[in-house]
Amino acid sequence: MSTPIPDIRPDYDKANYDENNIAAFTLEDPLTFLDGTPVKGPADWPRRRKEILSIFAKEMFGEEPPRPETMVTELVEEKADALAGFAVRSQYRMWFRQDKSGPAIDWLLLRPRHAKGPVPVILFLNFNGNQELIPDQEVIVPDCWHRNTEDHRLPEVRGNFCNPNSDTVLPIGILLSAGYAVMTAYYGQVSPDPNSGEPNPAFQQANFAYTGVFELWGKRDESRDDNTTAIGAWAWALSRGLDLAERIPELDARKAIVTGCSRLGKTALLAAARDERFPVCMPVQSGGGGVPLAKHDYGENVATEARMFTHWFCPAYAKYARNPAQLLTFDQHLLVATIAPRRLLVPGFNEPWFDTLGDFLSCQAASPAWELFGLPGLPKVPFPDNYDTSAIGPYLGYFRRTEEHGIAAYDWWMLLNFLKAI
């Protein structure tokens, strides 16, 4: 008879904030197949990558939604001299049925007006609607649900990203001047993200979360514990953004950069893990279920994630909650490794709930996947202090800084430097 595995801590479902309480753990080798055979060289990597992705589909993020058979995109609006003449502003609407019924996604694209050829595009989902990017009355505000406003309507945050006091900023003029386009859509339009305490049953996670683009994938089979999750749906939407970018001649979609913060950082990571067309990924402060190791039991943990965000992770993930260190047969470094040999920059910050040491350890453990290709992995340095850039390699990098939760000017600056490094 096997001895039952004890709970990791008596209060395993609360966050631990004491390094001394972290139980010992071992991490799976990214370069060893599940059957124990080694990954001998780059030629073996696609098979191992697939194996890892299927673990994450079965145990954490649910089945990957299919590529749509139909995608109709319409240029709804365009202005050739937006942003004081610096940008071309284009707004697209995307549907997944020929008759334009059902779910739709609105994309805002800002590209440098004076570019001489196709430019790389920075692609991300936003939290509050496309109107938060720039102070521009003509940015379309989609009529959809928002999780944090009292009336559940999108907040009036026009141009919030241009306010230097905001936790998330977008230095749009600098990005355009540096030769990048920016493309974004509102994640709640893809599929809503209800809070766990939502009092109105119509808007609770159990039902409301699986609306929006979920409508395209038919009825969910509730007997399965690996149904598609919201994070899976949002990541799918980022791939649809890339599909659109590929159709726009002024963009160089082969050089796309996928990013996002927090739950949308987890989303960016999953999008890049699943879709190899993304050559660069910057998951900002992705937190539990993103870059940080789950076995490094600090801050939010499998138990809190499974309880508070039932629609982010599939039910299969909850079985690891009582003792991730001993029960998990995988960890987030494997997801990070699936990005190799592409480029990944991981910005962290110091809010303990987000366990940024876990970010660093995860990158460290994923690093052999880059080395397999003869590329430098994470620089072999100790856990860097705030604003120390020593752990940023040309392919895999980590840094942290003191600003609050969001994508700060410093993060964009680090990204621009990272992009120029090779």
Q: How far is the CB of 291 from ligand GCU (least distance, A)?
A: 11
Q: How far is the CB of 263 from ligand GCU (least distance, A)?
A: 3
Return the closest-CA partner of residue 144 out of 81, 180, 194, 184.
Answer: 194
Distance CA 374, CA 146 (A): 46
Q: Is residue 262 part of the contact set for ligand GCU (CB under 6 A)?
A: yes
Which of 320/395 has CB closer to ligand GCU? 320
Q: How far is the CB of 249 from ligand GCU (least distance, A)?
A: 35
Which of 49/295 has CB closer to ligand GCU? 295
Which of 83/231 has CB closer to ligand GCU? 231
Q: How far is the CB of 262 from ligand GCU (least distance, A)?
A: 3
Distance CA 7, CA 385 (A): 33
Q: How far is the CB of 288 from ligand GCU (least distance, A)?
A: 5
Which of 94/284 has CB closer to ligand GCU? 284
Q: Check if the beta carbon of residue 119 is closer than 8 Å to that of residue 252.
A: yes
**E strand spans, 15-120:** 72-81, 87-95, 104-112
Q: How far is the CB of 268 from ligand GCU (least distance, A)?
A: 12
Instruction: Name the residue type at position 62.
Output: G
Site for ligand GCU, residues 62 to 81, rule: CB under 6 A: none
- Pull the structure tokens for residue 43: 């030629």
Q: Is residue 146 part of the contact set for ligand GCU (CB under 6 A)?
A: no
Q: Is residue 263 part of the contact set for ligand GCU (CB under 6 A)?
A: yes
Q: How far is the CB of 312 from ligand GCU (least distance, A)?
A: 8
Q: Is residue 323 part of the contact set for ligand GCU (CB under 6 A)?
A: no
Site string for ligand GCU, 349-388 (x = CB under 6 A): ----x-----------------------------------
Q: Is residue 348 part of the contact set for ligand GCU (CB under 6 A)?
A: no
- Pull the structure tokens for residue 199: 């009092």
What CA–CA distances, in Å, run from 327 to 97, 315, 323, 335, 401?
Answer: 43, 15, 6, 17, 33
Residue selected from 62, 68, 112, 288 as contacting ligand GCU according to rule CB under 6 A: 288
Full 3-state SS string of 196-250: CCCCCHHHCHHHHCCCHHHHHHCCCCCCCCCCCCHHHHHHHHHHHHHHHHHHCCC
- Pull the structure tokens for residue 167: 């936790």
Q: Check if the beta carbon of residue 269 is closer than 8 Å to that of residue 283.
A: yes
Return the closest-CA partner of residue 295 out of 27, 85, 1.
Answer: 27
Residue selected from 300, 355, 359, 411 as contacting ligand GCU according to rule CB under 6 A: 300
Which of 214/313 has CB closer to ligand GCU? 313
Which of 136/300 has CB closer to ligand GCU? 300
Q: Is residue 287 part of the contact set for ligand GCU (CB under 6 A)?
A: yes
Which of 299/393 has CB closer to ligand GCU? 299
Which of 136/403 has CB closer to ligand GCU? 403
Distance CA 337, CA 48 (A): 10
Q: How far is the CB of 356 from ligand GCU (least distance, A)?
A: 12
Distance CA 89, CA 115 (A): 14
Which of 86/353 has CB closer to ligand GCU? 353
Distance CA 269, CA 149 (A): 27
Return the closest-CA partner of residue 62 out of 215, 209, 232.
Answer: 232
For ligand GCU (CB under 6 A), the number of binding residues is: 6
Residues that bind ligand GCU in the complex, under the rule CB under 6 A: 262-263, 287-288, 300, 353
